């Protein structure tokens, strides 16, 4: 019988384990056998986010678009949409992350409106979790197969976040051009404690007069929501 020693055995164990964790077809997570998508409309309650006008703030835009995304996906027989907040309520960051973890979500999307930079900055931005610091488990003994599996699982989630961001980019570009801002690998706080595919979508710039106007138009909100919903369908199919 052939004997496998050292790192070869460790890698074999890791790959064998991952074959159960990540089969070729993604596994639905909820009791109904559907995929679970958690949408996070940023801000809420006393936390209004950036102002777009005297009466409209970021919290209003993110909730409006989140509601429209869910409406676009309501006819799906393969997925369920859940929110981190349903109305104009204060929700701590930890609870937003906790909602995704508790739901055993397959995908997490946090919606925001950008601000800052110069007035010329426009278009959307997509952030996904950074790969930095994922080279290995700190403090783990060399050859620790459990640590290797954890790192491979983590890398799988990062790769899937990038894949979804790329799909979303193709859907959003015709609707709300990103103006060459691109996709960004960034240590966004809300993404750091998640071990599922996740992105932060910054929809336009409140500091740009044109973006600010567009974001308050129902037709633009509907178009953005439709693009995101189509991206979700494509990713989970």
pLDDT-derived band at 40 (thresholds 50, 70, 90) equals very high
pLDDT in tens, 69-99: 999 999 999 999 999 999 999 999 999 999 9
Residue 220 lies inside a defined structural domain of this protein: yes
Q: Which CA distances in Å does 63 have to 34, 116, 174, 189?
A: 23, 21, 22, 20
* CA–CA separation, 235 and 237 (whole Å): 6
Q: Is residue 72 part of a domain?
A: yes
Does residue 135 lie in a domain region? Answer: no
Biggest CA–CA distance in the chain, Å, is 76
Q: What domain range is 147 assigned to?
A: 6-130+140-236
1 found inside a domain? no
Q: Where residue 218 sits, what CATH number does that domain have?
A: 3.40.630.40
Is it the case that residue 185 has pLDDT exceeding 70?
no
Number of domains in the chain: 1
Residue 35 lies in a domain: yes
Is the pLDDT reported for residue 61 higher than 80?
yes
46 within some domain: yes
């Amino acid at each position: 019988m052939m004997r496998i020693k050292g790192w070869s055995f460790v890698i074999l164990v890791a790959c064998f384990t991952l074959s159960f964790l990540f089969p070729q077809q993604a596994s639905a997570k909820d009791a109904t056998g559907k995929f679970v998508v958690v949408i996070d409309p940023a801000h809420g309650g006393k936390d209004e986010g950036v102002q777009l006008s005297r009466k409209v703030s970021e919290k209003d835009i993110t909730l409006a678009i989140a509601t429209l995304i869910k409406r676009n996906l309501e006819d799906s027989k393969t997925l369920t949409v859940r929110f981190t907040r349903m109305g104009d309520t204060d929700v701590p960051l930890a609870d937003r992350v906790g909602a995704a973890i508790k739901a055993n979500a397959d995908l997490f999307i946090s919606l925001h409106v950008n601000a800052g930079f110069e007035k010329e900055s426009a278009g959307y931005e997509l952030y996904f979790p950074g790969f930095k610091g994922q080279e290995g488990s700190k403090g783990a003994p060399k050859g620790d197969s459990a640590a290797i599996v954890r790192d491979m699982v983590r890398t799988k989630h990062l790769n899937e976040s990038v894949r979804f961001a790329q799909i979303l980019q193709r859907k959003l570009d015709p609707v709300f051009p990103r103006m060459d801002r691109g996709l960004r690998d960034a240590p966004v706080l809300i993404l750091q404690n998640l071990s599922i595919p996740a992105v932060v979508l910054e929809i336009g710039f409140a500091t740009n007069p044109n973006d600010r106007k567009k974001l308050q138009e129902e037709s633009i909100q509907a178009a953005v929501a439709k693009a995101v919903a189509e991206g979700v369908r494509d990713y989970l199919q």
